[in-house]
């Protein structure tokens, strides 16, 4: 059932984000709806501020002031529960229709990370399984998991050519 849960954006009064999050969490646990509303987030970032005296300090700041992100299964009950929380002005979307975030938007915000398990190493022979060079083979020259990048040396037109691909675009040849 959690597969059908999507991320939605809720608009709140400015400064009420944490209060809204706490209220929703209380209602969810009180009504036993933990399987319907899975996560509630107020995205924060740490910013280093420089004071007038030249000293620096780290400050937690809301990434999206006035908004709360909720991963939930949208039903009439969950919509009404969230919509009727004090401080909530509504879901982001058209009229009374909440529009979920796309997979790309969720990944860009860092709300969820897809872990790719790399089953090959530098020097391994791999086959490209996706993209314009699909079915080409080559040798792994460099792997950068933090950038989701792999460099593969492919032989094209009789020349060794380095090709940059995403980690899940290649697989180890057996």
CA distance 108 to 113: 9
The domain that holds 51 is classified in CATH as 3.30.70.940
CA distance 82 to 27: 9
Q: Does the residue 117 lie in any domain?
A: no
CA distance 71 to 37: 6
Where the chain has pLDDT below 50, the residues are: 1
Under 8 Å between Cβ of 143 and 117: no
pLDDT of 1: 47
Under 8 Å between Cβ of 134 and 90: no
Q: Does the residue 119 lie in any domain?
A: no
Q: Look up the domain containing 9 and give its range.
A: 2-109
Q: Is this structure's pTM higher than 0.75?
A: no
Q: Does the residue 161 lie in any domain?
A: yes
CA distances to 10, 25, 109, 145 from 20, rounded to whole Å, are: 10, 9, 20, 36
Tokens, residue 47: 């910013």
Burial of 51 (0-12, 13-18, 19+ CB in 10 A): exposed
Residue 75 and residue 16 share a domain: yes
The domain that holds 150 is classified in CATH as 2.30.30.30
Tokens, residue 131: 């993209």
């Amino acid at each position: 059932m959690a597969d059908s849960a999507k991320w939605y954006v809720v608009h709140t009064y400015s400064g009420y984000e944490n209060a809204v999050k706490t209220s929703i969490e209380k209602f969810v646990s009180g009504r036993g709806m933990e399987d319907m509303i899975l996560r509630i987030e107020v995205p924060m970032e740490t910013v280093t501020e420089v004071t007038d005296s030249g000293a620096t300090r780290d400050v937690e700041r809301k990434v999206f002031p006035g908004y709360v992100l909720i991963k939930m299964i949208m039903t009439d009950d969950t919509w009404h529960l969230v919509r009727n929380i004090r401080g909530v002005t509504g879901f982001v979307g058209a009229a009374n229709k909440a529009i979920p975030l796309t997979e790309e938007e969720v990944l860009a915000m860092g709300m969820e990370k897809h872990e790719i398990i790399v089953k090959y190493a530098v020097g391994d022979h791999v086959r490209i399984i996706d993209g314009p060079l699909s079915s080409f083979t080559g040798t792994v020259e460099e792997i950068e998991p933090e950038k989701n990048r792999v460099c593969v040396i492919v032989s094209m037109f009789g020349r060794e050519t380095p090709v940059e691909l995403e980690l899940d675009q290649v697989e180890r040849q057996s």
